[in-house]
Structure 1
Amino acid sequence: MRRWRPLAALLLLAGCAAPVPADDRFGPPEVDGPALSLAVGSRPAVALLLQQNGESRLWRTRDGVVVATDGARVVATAGLAVWVAATRFDGPDPLDEPLALVGRLASSRRLVDLMTPDRDPASMRFGVSLECTLRGRIDGDVLLVEEGCNGSGFNFTNRFWGDPQTGGIYRSEQWVGREAGLLGITVLRPPPA
């Protein structure tokens, strides 16, 4: 079972300063280390790697958006319209082995905790249950994994694009709450393995 991803580290990091080498409002800057391009709607930003422990990573933009990832999966956020406070899987995440999804279906169940930036208890939703089905395919020189999820009044599709040889995910669109919608992520510079 996946470890629970607490919000405490994200709350601390959302207020920390992290320099970005160029103004990220005008496209990706030249970055020296691992970086992601993040986009919610028309709001693009560059997120730099702050911390890494194996496949668990924390990324932060200049304007305070913090994203926690486990491999290619977003497991927590801060600084958006709605925060994903935690993600817990019942069993393994099929996205851990994206090439194993090619030509077959896999199911997963996860619980997500959501909250608003004002941390109003009335807006908090704990244990939002999501039932998801993942399917992968090779389309030319691209691996595409689509994940359809529903439950607790939510219905959305995440997409992950990757290398068909290695399974490495380099781009994705992932749900981060009803108000925020899909978070677009592109790897600008990959983190160390």
Structure 2
Amino acid sequence: MNTLKIAAGVGVACLLAGCNPLMQASLDTFKAAVVGPAPLALTRAQVDAVPFPQIKVTTVSSEGVMALIRQRGDLQFWVASGKQVLLLRNGLVVRTVGLGADLDGTRWQGQSPFQQGLHRLPQGYRSTRQIDLVGGYQLGIDVTSRITRKGIETLEILDKTYALLRVDEDIEAGDFRARNRYWVDPNDGFIVQSEQHLTPRLTLTITQLQPTRKDAP
């Protein structure tokens, strides 16, 4: 938790420096969770003006931009101006802070399929992970997963078009069932966009705004 607080503090200070309009828009939209904000109107010039790799994160009630301010091995720390934090590992969200019904942790039984690369997995690949949820002492919940490749789809992000392999992940945890969707580079498995059901009350759509795989500072 101390690591998260340090990362959030450093990230917010950096992102707000210079009052970048893109990050201010992100702060405003994440604060609009009650009424639901208008979608962010992003441009390539705005994204390129921020010296950090960025993602757009959308929930049912908010939308904003997060920046990558630290990477430790394959674990990435993404921070928004409003102090929301996402931890991603190989494109999968493994922890959230400040988004409401937060995911508090993720652990795999065996090797993570995301580490192997979704584009390499055989059809019907199954795995199990455990998650912890904030509140109610909900720890060690088993989540079973089944992977299905759906073929190539075209996505447009800002001013570029991408031909991406869509991979669906059907997950079950007790009565909770959902379908996560990932759009990955068919050559290297990099997840360019995803829709992830992290908890029964938290679903995120994550879009890489700089899918050029820039390294963290």
Rg larger in structure: 2
Both structures adopt the same fold (TM-score exceeding 0.5): yes
1:129 aligns with 2:152: no
Give the TM-score normalised by the residue count of structure 1. 0.83
Deviation at 1:12, TM superposition (A): 5.0
- Could you say what the CA RMSD is over the residues aligned between the two structures, in angstroms? 2.1
Give the TM-score normalised by the residue count of structure 2. 0.75
For 2:78 and 2:6, the matched residues in 1 are separated by 13
Q: 1:154 to 1:57 in 2, by over 3 A?
A: same
2:4 aligned counterpart, secondary structure: helix
Which residue of 180, 188, 193 corresponds with 1:158? 180
User: Which amino acid is the alignment partner of residue 84 of structure 1?
Assistant: L
Deviation at 1:95, TM superposition (A): 2.2
User: Which amino acid is the alignment partner of residue 56 of structure 2?
Assistant: S
For 2:179 and 2:102, the matched residues in 1 are separated by 18
| Equivalent in the alignment of 2:197 | 175
- Contact 1:39-1:183 within 8 A present in 2 as well: yes
After the TM superposition, list the runs of 4 or more consecutive aligned residues in structure 1 that deviate by more than 6 angstroms: none
1:70 aligns with 2:83: no
1:147 aligns with 2:147: no
Higher RCO (CA-CA < 8 Å; seq separation 6+): 1
Task: State the number of aligned residues.
Answer: 179
Q: Which has the higher helix share?
A: 2
Q: Which has the higher strand share?
A: 1
For 2:6 and 2:140, the matched residues in 1 are separated by 23
Which residue of 10, 14, 24 corresponds with 2:4? 10
Deviation at 1:33, TM superposition (A): 1.7
Gaps of 5+ in 1: 1-6, 117-122
Q: 1:124 to 1:36 in 2, by over 3 A?
A: same
- Contact 2:7-2:70 within 8 A present in 1 as well: no
Identity within the alignment, %: 26
Task: Please show how residues 93-132 of structure 1 align to structure 2 within 5 Å.
Answer: 93-96=112-115, 97-101=117-121, 104-116=123-135, 123-132=136-145
For 1:55 and 1:153, the matched residues in 2 are separated by 31
User: Which amino acid is the alignment partner of residue 112 of structure 2?
Assistant: D
Provide Cα deviations, 1:88-119, integer angstroms capped at 9, x if missing partner: 00011112212212x61211101100014xxx
Gaps of 5+ in 2: 30-39, 154-162
| Equivalent in the alignment of 2:209 | 188
Deviation at 1:11, TM superposition (A): 4.8
For 1:162 and 1:12, the matched residues in 2 are separated by 31
Please identify, of 130-139 and 22-31, the stretch whose mean Cα deviation from structure 2 is larger. 22-31
Deviation at 1:183, TM superposition (A): 0.4
